[in-house]
A and B are shown apart, each in its own frame.
Chain A
Amino acid sequence: MGYQLSFNQIWRNFDKLTNGVILSLELAVIAILIGALIGLALAVIYVSSGRVVRAIISSYVEFIRNVPLLLLVYLAFYGLPTVVNLAYDASTSFIATLSLYAGAYLVEVFRSGLEAVPKGLLDAGKAMGLTPWQRLLYVRLPTMTRITLPALSNTFISLFKDTSIASVIAVPELTWGAQWINNRTFRIVEVYAVTTVMYLVTGYAILFGLRLLERRFRVER
């Protein structure tokens, strides 16, 4: 006799999954917003600074990119409070970690975007008498946004999937919801199949929306 699929227990606890996917989205949205601020600020500083500042920013980027996210989450949630006597809840800790993580990837995205702005456009801005800040605000950033939009979309999808790691510190997002149901019903195949579909559908929906946005703002030359 083979394994009998039964989804009854899953549907009975489905709210754990729907609440979970909403929280996952929230975590990803907050992380990409804070991460974009970090990334943009550091990218602007990077392109207009000397070697020392660049080295500091690069070491942040390299540190984050070469340490597994899971480890960063543990470090931030278990390690940091031990060292600096600071208490914060799991969600806050995870948002902080994921934002710093996103920031490191987005520094690179924005930096290459800023450097991809055609020099002729900056010359045109200079020639009309725009100050460096005005050139950044009215020429560089708007042009860069269009160049970096596809990379931003990809980062957002990655972050959405990375929110599953928050389950290890009991943040009740989608994967945590799946584990919760599994621990009580032992319907391991069913619950993870449903969860997989939920990640897939949500991920595709986000990607579809972002691609529409990209087309709307496509760079035309």
Chain B
Amino acid sequence: MSATPLLQIARLTKSFGSNQVLKSVDLDVTAGEVVTVIGPSGGGKTTLLRCVNFLEAYDGGSIKIDGREVGYVDNAGGRKRGEVDLAAMRAETGMVFQSFNLFPHLTAEQNVMLGLQRVRKKPLKEAQEIARHWLDRVGLAHKTKSLPYELSGGQQQRVGIARAVAMDPKILLLDEITSALDPELVNEVLDVVRKLATDGMTMLIVTHEIAFARDASHRIIFMTDGSVSAHGKPDELMAQVASNERLRNFLSRFSAATH
């Protein structure tokens, strides 16, 4: 591809104490692309995602969004950006969390409106319109006034998605967004993500839903022990199963679900 990638991750490293969680990860995501990261637990997937919006500070390498280094003024490990600058950078990425993390004191609508009003500085009326539009898009037009505890897990997560996309982010980060859901609620959330993919939303997704990864993403990254073990388009990745033992072992656990 000729276009400059929207997200450029190069030689990324990150340690928690003596435990090196990310060992030189390289990954580019082009605008409009849906890239999925799969792999065993503890492989660094979530940490990778949390570095992209600097919820975790990385130690080495580089993460650039639209050519700007994330979190640091120049280089990793150097001077960090000021809090206001950091906040402005984070507003360019949207994130959806495994445990939803909706604000418990705000209604569904208010959860979506908070960022629109306080970060995007939209007037109340406009923020409300945008919030309702997105809640409608995720199938929750009838729940705008509900508090999080009044919603099911699947509904809460759809509010979480609406809250993130309403900000019109350049890239959406989805961190195991169906892992905390009852099985029968997984699809209502994945359907919303599929729709976003069709609309051309750029997404970096960490998931354990292999079937979903295979048919919804343009590329799949397989991460183990903090580095990329295999990557490619879904069918390219599946073709590597024979030669990559770890990938084979990992996918065999899902074979019942995928065939």
Contact = CB atoms under 8 A, between A and B. Distances in A.
B37 interface: no
Contact of A219 (B102, B104, B114, B115): B104
Contact of B83 (A132, A139, A142, A219): A132
Interface string A97-131: 00000000000000000000010110110111111
Interface in B93-130: 93-95, 97, 99, 101-105, 114-115, 118-119
Interface string A138-159: 1100110010000000000000
B55 interface: yes
Given A121-B103, A132-B83, A143-B105, A127 B53 contact: yes
A138 to B, nearest CB: 6
B87 A143 contact: no
B101 A220 contact: no
Contacts of A138: 103, 114, 118
B97 A124 contact: yes
Contacts of B68: none
Interface of B: 53, 55, 83-84, 87-95, 97, 99, 101-105, 114-115, 118-119, 147-150, 163-164, 167, 173
Contact of B91 (A128, A146, A220): A128
Interface centre among B119, B147, B163 (most CB of A within 10 A): B119
A221 interface: yes
Contacts of B89: 129
Given A128-B114, A220-B148, A146 B90 contact: no
Contacts of B163: 124, 128
A59 interface: no
Q: Sort A-B residue pairs by CB-CB distance and give the 9 closest, nearest first.
A: A129-B91, A220-B149, A128-B115, A127-B95, A124-B101, A120-B101, A129-B119, A131-B87, A129-B90
A129 B93 CA distance: 9
Given A121-B101, A220-B104, A130 B55 contact: no
A146 B148 CA distance: 15
User: Which of A118, A124, A126, A221 has the largest count of B CB atoms less than 10 A from its CB?
Assistant: A124
Interface of A: 118, 120-121, 123-124, 126-132, 134, 138-139, 142-143, 146, 219-221
A118 B87 CA distance: 20
A123 B115 contact: no
A49 to B, nearest CB: 16
Contacts, number: 81
A129 B95 CA distance: 11
Given A123-B97, A221-B149, A128 B167 contact: yes
Nearest to B85: A131
A123 B97 CA distance: 9
Nearest to B82: A131
Given A138-B118, A220-B147, A220-B149, A129 B167 contact: yes
A124 B164 CA distance: 9
Contacts of A132: 83
A176 to B, nearest CB: 42
Contacts of A120: 97, 99, 101
A96 to B, nearest CB: 34
Contacts of B164: 127-128
Contacts of A219: 104
Contacts of B97: 120, 123-124, 127
A124 B148 CA distance: 14
10 contacts: A121-B101, A123-B95, A123-B101, A124-B103, A127-B93, A128-B163, A130-B114, A138-B118, A143-B104, A221-B104
A134 B114 CA distance: 10
A139 B103 contact: yes
Nearest to A142: B105
Contacts of B147: 220
Contacts of B93: 127
A132 B90 CA distance: 13
Given A219-B104, A220-B147, A126 B55 contact: yes
